[in-house]
Copies of this chain bind each other. A is one copy, B any other.
């Protein structure tokens, strides 16, 4: 598992869109990407030096699927069940009681506060190594509820190709997601070829202490940064310190990130992935509670951003099973 090395040494073939973007039909969406890459890599007025070729990607719904529920929440549900024996009180306490009874309606009735309770109970009170192991163990065995595939195979093959193609053309690729940063880092390198230091997400409070003399980082049940909506450009500023020239998202939560990326006079690329394929994936946008894309579609139309139509622009959605 040495994806960073792969990032540096991606073969020349990956630089050529005809080789690299095999799962993309030759439509306007693909052309928007390849023309942009040609512009910024060709000496001339629109040339962008390599260190400034920053591309940012949302994760849920952009790099991997997010239906019928955010995958990190599936992990949280698993953890509640796994931890329940240590918390006998959960049987009588919402939202845990409903969750343990597999009553998702009961859980959802608690709204965001219930979600937050579940996240806190499952993402804190452990060392960072224990947390990482719990995510890794879950990913190794968990299966997506409708497709039966490992979550790490519920990723979009065309987006994997796009990541590789951009890197082969001197881009540095980052994830900028509302998911927990340390949740995503467990698989981002292996699955996307994105090293942990290029993953930006929501941040839980962590404290450093010496436990019996041993340096230890412990996760607390508190968030210090939510990397969503207006938080995304802030997360980019605080973590990258340079404005991206390309941004990829799929929901209104990504809109400020795309606005921030495409607000300069220099060359830039803003792309929305539009979930239009209810046969191979899911179809949802303006009215969805997960990954709502409403204002974003309007601004994309207004500003001429590219909207990828998953149904017609992608030959393939998910990679072949391993």
Residues of A within 8 A of B (CB): 2-5, 8, 49-51, 54, 128, 172, 174, 181-182, 185, 189, 195-199, 203, 206-210, 214-215, 217, 224-225, 230-231, 233-234, 237-242, 256, 259-260, 263
Which of the residues B8, B215, B239 comes within 8 Å of A233, measured between beta carbons?
Answer: B215
Which of the residues B51, B54, B238 comes within 8 Å of A189, measured between beta carbons?
Answer: B51
In the complex, what distance in Å separates the CA atom of A51 from the CA atom of B196? 9
Q: Is the CB of B182 within 8 A of A241?
A: yes
In the complex, what distance in Å separates the CA atom of A189 from the CA atom of B206? 29
In the complex, what distance in Å separates the CA atom of A54 from the CA atom of B225? 24
Copies in the complex: 2
The 7 A-B pairs with the shortest beta carbon distances in the complex, nearest first, are: A196-B241, A4-B51, A208-B230, A215-B263, A185-B241, A215-B259, A197-B240
Q: Is the CB of A238 within 8 A of B185?
A: no
Which of the residues B3, B238, B259 comes within 8 Å of A206, measured between beta carbons?
Answer: B238
Min CB gap A184→B, angstroms = 9
Which of the residues B195, B203, B259 comes within 8 Å of A238, measured between beta carbons?
Answer: B203
Min CB gap A172→B, angstroms = 7
